[in-house]
Amino acid sequence: MVVLKGRVWKFGDDVDTDVIIPAKYLRSVDKTVWPKHVLEGLDPEFSSKIKPGDIIVAGKNFGCGSSREQAALAIKWAGAAAVVAESFARIFFRNAINNGLPLIEAKGISKAVGEGDVIEIDLDSGGVKTKNGALRSAPLPPFLQEILKSGGLVNYYKAHNK
Amino acid sequence: MGMTISEKILARASGNEAVHPGEYVVCRIDLAMIHDLTGPLTLKVLKEVGYERPWDADKVVIILDHQVPANSTVTAQLHKDLREYAKKYSIKNYHEVGRQGVCHQILAEQYVKPGMLVVGADSHTCTLGALGAFATGIGSTEMASVYLTGEMWFRVPQTIRCDLKNKLRDGVSSKDVILNIIGTLGVDGGLYCAAEFTGGGVGSLSVDSRLTMCNMAIEMGGKTGIINPDKRTLEYTGVKEAPLKSDPDAEYYRTLEVDLATLEPQVAMPHSVDNVKPICEAGNVIADQVFIGSCTNGRLEDLEAAAKILSGRKVSPNTRLIVIPASQRIYLEAEERGYLRTFIQAGGVVCNPNCGPCLGGHMGILADGENCISTSNRNFIGRMGSTAAKVYLASPQTAAATAIEGRLADPRKYMRG
């Protein structure tokens, strides 16, 4: 059973990939650049506030917009353990799983938690524990959990020697 | 029960007789596109996995389009990496500087046929659904996986039907139609869905106009925009055989009706694509810059509409007009027809085909406090440069009228009978 416990950073609805990581930083394939600018479109100081193991909580349609995978990577490499949202944009969803960033779609999460709360996520069952009670979500299908547990698609391929 | 065109394509590509919304299927990919912004990350992932050769070099397309010609040493290196990769693996579908264009336009002109399953490492790949293909955007790592296997998993989407009735009036375009639809459904109104445009209104629209509508399906969260192929599609793609189409008894998740005959020019106000108003309610908006171009509205028909309005007129002294044709083919045709001359004589700038300022790359980045009226597809905070700039999305007609007046303007007064 994989359980993640972390402090919450809260964002609103429709957080788009341009505010997660503006296009001007995409030119580099240098791993250190993207986390430094994560979510700077909404909070220019965010990269210095987030600590390893923290959890991002957001409203509906998180990650909408561009297919830039750097959005998922910026969040992961900045140290976030997971993102919990009311819903996710589909390309972001795939990018996150493919890079081993856990996502939980939990209806009611934005009302149930506040900034700085500590929440607990059970990745196997999709359950989220908050100080205002537990939320349930549909767990990921088994083959996606497998990719996530491998740490993303690259490791998955290496492990399966495809 | 019948199937939609999207379900039929996914069934065909997964080797199933039928598929149903919500089902997970593994499909063979017919065409896979990368470009200079997302492609380098795909190559990096392939290197990490330790196997770089694409599953089928003829099904791979590599296009330089985001920053062309290279605008920095960093970009130059990315272009070089893609160029060398294409050479190493004998990828003939590599589009070098001078043979380039915005990737989705190049795919429409040269590669995509009805019934294909197309993926691209760019969210606006959904544009190609206008040709009766199922086309969707994916990330770079996922693309690496496609390169390795030629396959990808899909969750079969539900389909939202947008039924278009009647015909557009002069000065109103398919951009206004799609902005209106996104304004109604919201930026997540089509999340995970295919948006299928149907009805007599679609039949009245050119292929250029249809590409504009499908292009923006992603702006309401859609997996693809899609249009059943008709005579115009077959003519455009040079295909003769009967393509896949939705069955009359196919099941739709939701149906939305739009009356084209009563539609007015629309504007998506900052900073969300669903913040849409008819132009008469948009208020007094100063235009520091006007951009006509992008994968949404850089096609010949768009340049023609703008040139007709700008012909014999001048761009306002308070405004900068930037025009970027979407491909070399369009660039040349617009030159031959005199549109480029019209833009230049009006006091505008014409740049070579590429994505330009749409995503804040180059060729017209905005400063703090500036407004841009743009024919592109996103008005997110910071999209075209400064986070303190504002982007208003509109049609090429509205953009041209705006360039003349220096403030957001209704193009219908410039229509010549």
Q: Give percent of chain B above pLDDT 70.
A: 100
Q: From the CA atom positions of chain B, what is the Rg in Å?
A: 20
User: Are B34 and B91 a contacting pair, CB within 8 Å?
Assistant: no
User: Are B292 and B322 a contacting pair, CB within 8 Å?
Assistant: yes
Domain ranges of chain B: 5-259, 267-414
Per-residue pLDDT for B231 more than 80? yes
3-state DSSP assignment of residue B278: strand
Rounded to whole angstroms, the Cα distance separating B125 from B70 reads 23
- Could you tell me if B187 lies within 8 Å of chain A, comparing CB atoms? yes
3-state DSSP assignment of residue B361: coil
Phi/psi for A118 (5° steps) reads -105, 130
Mean pLDDT of B325-350: 98
**Nearest chain A alpha carbon to B379:** A18
Taking CB atoms and an 8 Å cut-off, how many pairs form between chains A and B?
A: 122
Mean pLDDT of B326-332: 98
Nearest to A123 by CA among A161, A88, A72, A84: A84
User: Are B223 and B22 a contacting pair, CB within 8 Å?
Assistant: no
Rounded to whole angstroms, the Cα distance separating A110 from A130 reads 11
Rounded to whole angstroms, the Cα distance separating A96 from B37 reads 18
Domain ranges of chain A: 3-160
Least Cα separation, residue A117 to chain B (angstroms): 27
The residue of A17, A24, A27 whose CB has the most chain B CBs within 10 angstroms, and thus the best one to mutate to test that interface, is A27
- Could you tell me if B375 lies within 8 Å of chain A, comparing CB atoms? no
Per-residue pLDDT for A162 more than 60? no
| Sign of the CA dihedral with B143 first, then B145, B148, and B150 last | negative
- Could you tell me if B45 lies within 8 Å of chain A, comparing CB atoms? yes
Query: Which member of A18, A27, A162 has the closest CB to residue B78?
Result: A27
- Could you tell me if A143 lies within 8 Å of chain B, comparing CB atoms? yes
Q: Which residues pair with A127 in a beta bridge?
A: A122
Mean pLDDT of A61-77: 95
Q: What is the pLDDT of residues B157-192, one digit of tens each?
A: 999 999 999 999 999 999 999 999 999 999 999 999
User: Which chain B residues are closer than 8 Å to A140 by Cβ?
Assistant: none
Mean pLDDT of B383-396: 97
Length of chain A: 162
Domains B5-259 and B267-414 share a fold: yes
E runs forming strands in B188-282:
194-198, 224-227, 254-259, 266-268, 276-278
Vertex B33: Cα angle to B31 and B35 (nearest 5): 170
Q: Under CATH, what is the fold of the domain A3-160?
A: Aconitase; domain 4 (3.20.19)
**Nearest chain B alpha carbon to A100:** B141
Tell me the C-alpha to C-alpha distance, in Å, between residue B401 and each of B105, B279, B326, B377, B397. Answer: 25, 12, 21, 19, 6
DSSP B30: S
Those residues with Cβ within 8 angstroms of residue B116's Cβ, 6 or more apart along the chain or in another chain = B9, B30, B31, B128, B133, B134, B135
Nearest to B144 by CA among B235, B241, B43: B43
Rounded to whole angstroms, the Cα distance separating A34 from A21 reads 7
**Chain-wide mean pLDDT for chain A?**
92
User: Are B368 and B389 a contacting pair, CB within 8 Å?
Assistant: yes
Q: Which residues pair with B161 in a beta bridge?
A: B196, B255
Confidence of residue B7 (pLDDT cuts 50, 70, 90): very high
Q: What is the pLDDT of residues B267-297, one digit of tens each?
A: 999 999 999 999 999 999 999 999 999 999 9
Contact B74 A99 (CB under 8 A): no
Regarding pTM above 0.80, the answer is yes
Q: Look up tokens 């009647």; give the residue.
A: B166
Amino acid present at A138: A
Nearest to B54 by CA among B24, B26, B92, B27: B92
User: Are B409 and B401 a contacting pair, CB within 8 Å?
Assistant: yes
Mean pLDDT of B305-328: 98
Q: What top-level class would CATH report for the domain B5-259?
A: alpha beta
Q: From the CA atom positions of chain A, what is the Rg in Å?
A: 15
Q: Which residues pair with A16 in a beta bridge?
A: A64
Rounded to whole angstroms, the Cα distance separating B290 from B32 reads 33
User: Which chain A residues are closer than 8 Å to B381 by Cβ?
Assistant: 18-19, 41-42
Rounded to whole angstroms, the Cα distance separating A27 from B77 reads 10
Mean pLDDT lowest for which of A136-145, B23-32, B81-90, B97-106?
A136-145
Contact B139 A153 (CB under 8 A): no
Q: Under CATH, what is the fold of the domain B267-414?
A: Aconitase; domain 3 (3.30.499)
What stretch of H or E contains B305? helix B300-310
User: Are B38 and B139 a contacting pair, CB within 8 Å?
Assistant: yes
Mean pLDDT lowest for which of A14-28, B22-36, B371-385?
A14-28
Confidence of residue A161 (pLDDT cuts 50, 70, 90): low
Q: What is the pLDDT of residues A14-43, one digit of tens each?
A: 999 999 998 888 877 777 889 999 999 999
Q: Among residues 273-332 of chain B, which lie with CB inside 8 Å of chain A? A: none
Phi/psi for B103 (5° steps) reads -50, -45
Confidence of residue B417 (pLDDT cuts 50, 70, 90): low
Structure-token pair, residue A45:
């100081």
| Sign of the CA dihedral with B350 first, then B353, B355, and B361 last | negative
**CA torsion, ordered B100, B106, B109, B113, to nearest 10 deg:** 150
Those residues with Cβ within 8 angstroms of residue B23's Cβ, 6 or more apart along the chain or in another chain = B155, B156
**Chain-wide mean pLDDT for chain B?**
97
Per-residue pLDDT for B138 more than 70? yes
